[in-house]
Amino acid sequence: MKIFLLLLLYVSFVFADSQFWQKVTLIENKYYTTEEANQTDEIINKTIDAKYNDFSILISLLKNKPYDISTANDFNINETQKVKLLQKIKTNNQYGYSLAVARDKLKLENLKLKQIIYLYFLKLSSNWVDFKDGDLKKLNKTYIDTIAKIDYSKYYVQYQKMKNNNSKIENDTKEAFKEFNKHYLFFTDMLGYIDDNRQMFEYESLANLLKLGVLIDKINSVELCEKLNLNLRFIHLDMGRIILFLFVISFSSLFSYILYKKIYNFLKFKIFLKENETDDILFENLNKIRKPVAFLIILIGFQLSLDVLVYPNTINEVVSNVFYVIVVLNLVYLFFIFIDNTIFIYLTNKNNDNIRKELVTLLIAIFKIIVFLIGVLLILVQFNINISGILASLGIGGLAVALAAQSTLSNFFGLIKMIVDKSFSIGDWIQTNDVEGTVVKIGFISTKIRTFDNALITVPNSDLANSSIKNWNKRKIGRRIKMNIGVTYNSKQADLENAISQIKNMLQNHHGIVTSKKVNYKEINKFYRQEQKLTSVDDKYGIKTTLLVYLDKFNDSSIDILVYTFTKTTDWAEWLEIKEDVLFKIWKILEANNLEFAFPSQSIYLEK
């Protein structure tokens, strides 16, 4: 128990470490002096930006460590100080010391102003988490009206008159004015800045959004908790917040475990129960999101527990920003998985078989880039970074980037050209002057090709876009079989004519050989009648139906028969099976007609 209380004490002191009033003094000394200097517009603008940045830091200190506002400081004026000054003013009036009276009145005004500043920040730090619409504006208006009642010009004129005088009272008066001037100008600017940036005081605590303050108050109202709170108040804690802190941590851990184990097993069972062809990818993505979702729940629970621990204040802005960045990155990763999963299921739909895979790959990459950029922009906004300034700088540096990335850009536009031209798709067998193989991936910069000896070649897109590409997969119907069958010269003409006729008839009736009568053009394109008037439909879609069987030529040692035809399939293995069957049937036809295969030979005749 002692170790736990020491840990809580340490956490409390970490959150309580603040230098609010020291920061106020630094800002006053840095920006609000009576010294005059000739400054350019550029320097003035930089000074204003720096001042507003310091104002923002000051507001962060107030929000993160509000209890430090009430600690001992120079702005928390003791009434005894004012009473003494009033007595001095009365005495000096009696003796007619007008300079001393003016000095003491200025000092008194300065004390009142410091007290006004102190009370303003005290009210702001104590109440801003409970502000409703218009509350902050009303508070600011009250203090703006209070400042407006101070006759600043009277004291400024008085200072100008004494500026070149050096008596002790006049020097004291000038120093009093310098201090008064700093407080007055700082507080006037600060009120204006806060009034213009009231959104900075919109309370974003999870504990406040969930109305956990009511629950904390109920716990603290228990008699035992009230007694313990007497000792805990020295470390800015109470039993209500401690108990709720432990509950939130325990609940988020338990819920994360249930999600990671029980709900995961339930979803796993449901996925495989459907026996769908997308089971594997769904299960794979379920495994991918399992840990990030469980981690996200623990992270949100831990943030909520810290919100409870410092309630009604907010956790340190740096810590809050760290939580925010981790949550955004986690969500970006989950969106990446969602994009991959959704598009895969869409592709596995039988109605989407004709969708080009490389176009889908490009779309996936674009969607992921968009999601990533949205995540980056959300993080930049959270850190109050001027996005328009970044975009402007990107515009200025765009030319330099473009020049430096010429090859990258040419590869990207090469990808666009290949997609528009439909030169090839993933899975196609292509051949160029330098490479031949199957396309396995088309990326932004390069295309990966697997050669038939199982090597992987990476080719820049710009090279492929500017090369002559032979795409063997652009054949829709028809893979060629071409051969010359040689028979011996002792064959009879009638047998040869009969064999040629039978071979042709066999091919026309073969289930694997394509002819024009076997092609259903309506399945290929319903507009084929209109298209064939403009172009060759067969050549456009890769359809070959030619069937030729003729006596071709008298060779040196054989009579050659030309067989030229196409199979229905373009698949290599199926083509080989059909070709083998055709060869066996031709062999039988030749044997049935008493024809023999010729082979290279020479006949020698000897004359007596």
Q: 221-233, pLDDT tens digit by residue?
A: 888 888 887 777 6
Query: What is the pLDDT confidence band of residue 207, given thresholds at 50, 70 and 90?
Result: low
Query: What is the pLDDT confidence band of residue 452, given thresholds at 50, 70 and 90?
Result: confident
What share of the chain in percent tops pLDDT 70?
79
Run of H or E residues at 552: strand 548-554
Return the ∠ at Cα 278 (arms to 272 and 279), rounded to 5°. 20
With left for phi above 0 and alpha for psi between -120 and 50, is residue 569 left, alpha or beta? beta
Q: 53-86, pLDDT tens digit by residue?
A: 888 888 888 876 777 787 767 888 888 888 888 8
Query: What is the pLDDT confidence band of residue 349, given thresholds at 50, 70 and 90?
Result: low
Q: Is the peptide bond before 66 cis (omega within 30 degrees of 0)?
A: no
Whether the per-residue pLDDT at 526 is higher than 80: the answer is no
**Range picked from 82-91, 307-316, 485-494 for highest mean pLDDT:** 485-494
Same domain, 238 and 90: no
Same domain, 171 and 38: yes
Same domain, 389 and 433: no
Count other C-beta atoms under 10 Å from residue 592's C-beta.
Answer: 12
Candidate from 352-356, 557-561, 595-599 with smallest mean pLDDT? 352-356
Can you tell me the distance from the alpha carbon of 73 to that of 343, in angstroms, rounded to the nearest whole number? 62
* Average pLDDT of span 421-450: 84
In a domain, 428, yes or no: yes
Residue 415: predicted pLDDT? 77
* 417 vs 37: which has the higher pLDDT: 417
Residue 388: predicted pLDDT? 62
Task: Please state at what angle helix 279-310 crosses helix 264-274, rounded to 10 degrees.
Answer: 160
The answer to whether the beta carbons of residues 460 and 445 sit under 8 Å apart is yes
Can you tell me the distance from the alpha carbon of 374 to that of 328, in angstroms, rounded to the nearest whole number? 10
Query: What is the pLDDT confidence band of residue 15, given thresholds at 50, 70 and 90?
Result: very low
Same domain, 424 and 323: no
Can you tell me the distance from the alpha carbon of 51 to that of 193, in angstroms, rounded to the nearest whole number? 10
* Average pLDDT of span 188-205: 82
Query: What is the pLDDT confidence band of residue 44, given thresholds at 50, 70 and 90?
Result: confident
Whether the per-residue pLDDT at 476 is higher than 80: the answer is no
The answer to whether the beta carbons of residues 222 and 229 sit under 8 Å apart is no
Q: 160-191, pLDDT tens digit by residue?
A: 888 888 888 888 888 889 899 999 999 999 99
β pairing state of 456-460 and 470-471: unpaired
Report the CATH number at residue 418: 2.30.30.60
Candidate from 129-133, 446-450, 481-485, 563-567 with smallest mean pLDDT? 129-133
Residue 1: predicted pLDDT? 40
In a domain, 4, yes or no: no
Q: Which two tokens stand for residue 497?
A: 């004519």
Query: What is the pLDDT confidence band of residue 13, given thresholds at 50, 70 and 90?
Result: very low
Could you give the 3-state DSSP secondary structure of residue 438? strand
Q: 252-304, pLDDT tens digit by residue?
A: 889 888 888 888 888 777 776 666 555 666 677 777 788 888 888 888 888 88
In a domain, 190, yes or no: yes
Nearest to 106 by CA among 149, 159, 30, 166: 159
Written as one letter, the residue type at 495 is: D
Whether the per-residue pLDDT at 576 is higher than 60: the answer is yes
Return the ∠ at Cα 312 (arms to 190 and 22), rounded to 5°. 40
What burial class does residue 249 get, using C-beta atoms within 10 Å of its C-beta: 0-12 exposed, 13-18 middle, 19+ buried? middle
Task: Give Cα 75 distance to the centre of its chain.
Answer: 46
Query: What is the pLDDT confidence band of residue 537, given thresholds at 50, 70 and 90?
Result: low
Give how many domains the chain has, as a whole number.
Answer: 4
Residue 587: predicted pLDDT? 94
In a domain, 10, yes or no: no
Nearest to 547 by CA among 604, 481, 499: 481
Can you tell me the distance from the alpha carbon of 336 to that of 373, in angstroms, rounded to the nearest whole number? 12
Same domain, 426 and 506: no
Same domain, 541 and 578: yes
In a domain, 603, yes or no: no
Nearest to 253 by CA among 309, 307, 302, 303: 302
**Range picked from 40-44, 210-214, 602-606 for highest mean pLDDT:** 40-44
Q: Which two tokens stand for residue 472?
A: 């063997």
**Range picked from 114-128, 222-236, 302-316, 380-394 for highest mean pLDDT:** 114-128
The answer to whether the beta carbons of residues 122 and 67 sit under 8 Å apart is no
In a domain, 163, yes or no: yes
Whether the per-residue pLDDT at 399 is higher than 70: the answer is no
Same domain, 374 and 425: no
Report the CATH number at residue 557: 3.30.70.100
The answer to whether the beta carbons of residues 215 and 247 sit under 8 Å apart is no
* Average pLDDT of span 568-576: 87
Those residues whose C-beta lies under 8 Å from the C-beta of residue 275, and which sit 6 or more positions away, are: none
Residue 561: predicted pLDDT? 93
* Average pLDDT of span 363-384: 82
In a domain, 494, yes or no: yes
Count other C-beta atoms under 10 Å from residue 582's C-beta.
Answer: 21
Beta bridge partners, 513, equal 567
Which one of 203, 225, 248 terminates a domain? 203
Nearest to 282 by CA among 291, 292, 271: 271
Same domain, 230 and 195: no
Maximum alpha-carbon separation in the chain: 170
What share of the chain in percent tops pLDDT 90?
14
| Residue entry with tokens 């071979």 | 503
**Range picked from 444-458, 460-474, 570-584 for highest mean pLDDT:** 570-584
Beta bridge partners, 483, equal 563
Same domain, 419 and 373: no
The answer to whether the beta carbons of residues 544 and 477 sit under 8 Å apart is yes
Whether the per-residue pLDDT at 418 is higher than 60: the answer is yes
Beta bridge partners, 446, equal 460
In a domain, 5, yes or no: no
Which one of 357, 374, 407 terminates a domain? 407
Query: What is the pLDDT confidence band of residue 315, given thresholds at 50, 70 and 90?
Result: confident
Count other C-beta atoms under 10 Å from residue 155's C-beta.
Answer: 21
Which one of 431, 447, 473 terminates a domain? 473
Can you tell me the distance from the alpha carbon of 341 to that of 331, in angstroms, rounded to the nearest whole number? 15
For residue 563, the enclosing domain spans: 479-592
Can you tell me the distance from the alpha carbon of 167 to that of 218, in angstroms, rounded to the nearest whole number? 64
Nearest to 424 by CA among 440, 402, 405, 404: 440
Same domain, 39 and 128: yes
Candidate from 46-50, 68-72, 185-189, 242-246 with smallest mean pLDDT? 68-72
Q: 321-337, pLDDT tens digit by residue?
A: 888 899 899 999 888 88
| Residue entry with tokens 């928390």 | 76
Same domain, 467 and 518: no
Backbone angles phi, psi at 323, to 5 degrees: -60, -45
Query: What is the pLDDT confidence band of residue 6, given thresholds at 50, 70 and 90?
Result: very low
Is pTM beyond 0.75? Reply is no
Same domain, 351 and 257: yes
Residue 595: predicted pLDDT? 92
Residue 17: predicted pLDDT? 45
Query: What is the pLDDT confidence band of residue 498, given thresholds at 50, 70 and 90?
Result: very high
